[in-house]
Amino acid sequence: MPGAVITRFAPSPTGALHLGHAFSAIQAHDRARKEGGTFLLRIEDIDGTRSRPEHVQGIFDDLAILGLAWDGPVLFQSARLAAYEQALSRLRERDLLYPCFCTRADIAASGAAPHGAAGAIYPGTCRSLDPAIRQTRLATEPHAWRIDMARAVAAIGGAEELVWHDEIAGVVSADPLAHGDVVLARKDAPASYHLAVTVDDAAQGVTHVVRGVDLFEATHVHRVLQALLDLPVPLYRHHRLLTDVAGNRLAKRTGAPTLASLYAAGQDGPALADMLRRGQAPPGFALPRD
């Protein structure tokens, strides 16, 4: 009889996994196994232009070589579009969403401050568009859907009591307004990361969200979505990140070595997993304290 703890590893198949992913997957896996719980694998492949099937297979292979087995079927976000649409409809019915026609260049040109869970805080350009102009543009122009965060916070009666519990940071007061009107449905994808991850963690019954501290800020946004959509609030653990020796976080785009390349160079998977479990980083990498 599996225990009540349900964790997940939720990579995006937009590149090969690196050591940072291995560390994160081990944290989520071990958190569940320690308590006889369930460890799920979710493939976050809603970004149709950047997700690649070969990376999906690579994720399966890399986890298997590390000695990590997941429970039950793999959930693919690309198969969950109806659930995201349903969540968007609920928010739209409450008049909490508006279409946004801005390009990245428009937002950059507005001098928006580069902070928040989703990059620059959106300056709100499309929030107050004339309704007739909005209707015309909706029919003819590509658009994203943004949440009107001020209205959303008002709709839940304010953010004063909106908190989440983090195993490392303790009780955290959510401050969704600091992140502005984030995108919930992208121009090029039917949901954004924020919407999909929140809806899916609830749908999969995830009790403990174990992920890197780089996603800590995103939780401010996820928490308000949970309140708006009547979803349960998991316990969070935003763990430390593996870095290079200079302290830079590993990233696909900055050329972090892939797990596949380490295995190909003779690295043993279970030995690597055990090293990371002991809090040790392989030569050339560092693992700062939580």
Residues engaged in binding ligand GLU (CB under 6 A): 10-12, 44, 197, 211, 215
Which residues, including other chains, have CB under 8 Å from residue 30's CB and lie 6 or more apart? 277
- Cβ proximity to ligand GLU: between 174 and 197 the closer is 197
Residues forming beta bridges with residue 29, ordered by sequence position: none
Smallest separation (angstroms) from ligand GLU to the CB of 106: 26
| Cβ contact 286:244 at 8 Å | yes
Residues with Cβ within 8 Å of residue 140, at least 6 apart in sequence: none
Shortest Cβ distance from residue 117 to ligand GLU (Å)? 11
**Residue 223: what residue type?**
R
Q: Which residue has the tokens 């070589």?
A: 65
Cβ nearer to ligand GLU, comparing 102 with 174: 174
By the 8 A CB rule, do 39 and 70 touch?
A: yes
CB of 281 to ligand GLU, least distance (A): 20
**Residue number, 214 or 274, with CB nearest to ligand GLU:** 214
Q: Is 142 or 232 the residue whose CB approaches ligand GLU more closely?
A: 232
Alpha-helical (H) ranges within 127-266 are 131-140, 149-155, 193-203, 218-228, 259-264
Query: Rounded to the nearest whole angstrom, what is the least distance from the CB of residue 161 to ligand GLU in the complex?
Result: 24
Comparing CB distances to ligand GLU, the nearer of 102 and 250 is 250
**Residue with smaller CB distance to ligand GLU, 150 or 215:** 215
CB of 215 to ligand GLU, least distance (A): 5
Is 163 within 8 Å of 156 (Cβ atoms)? no
Q: How far is the CB of 18 from ligand GLU (least distance, A)?
A: 11
β 285-286/144-147 pair status: unpaired
Q: Which of 18/211 has CB closer to ligand GLU?
A: 211
CA distance 145 to 90: 13
Supply the Cα-derived Rg of the chain in whole angstroms: 20
183 three-class SS: strand
Q: Which residue has the tokens 């350009």?
A: 125
Nearest approach in angstroms of CB 152 to ligand GLU is 20
For ligand GLU, give the closer residue by CB, 124 or 192: 192
Least distance to ligand GLU from the beta carbon of 8, Å?
7
Q: Are the C-beta atoms of 35 and 3 separated by less than 8 Å?
A: yes
Tell which phi-psi region holds residue 38, choosing left (phi > 0), alpha (psi between -120 and 50) or beta. beta
**Could you give the CA distance from residue 252 to residue 264 in angstroms, rounded to a whole number?**
18
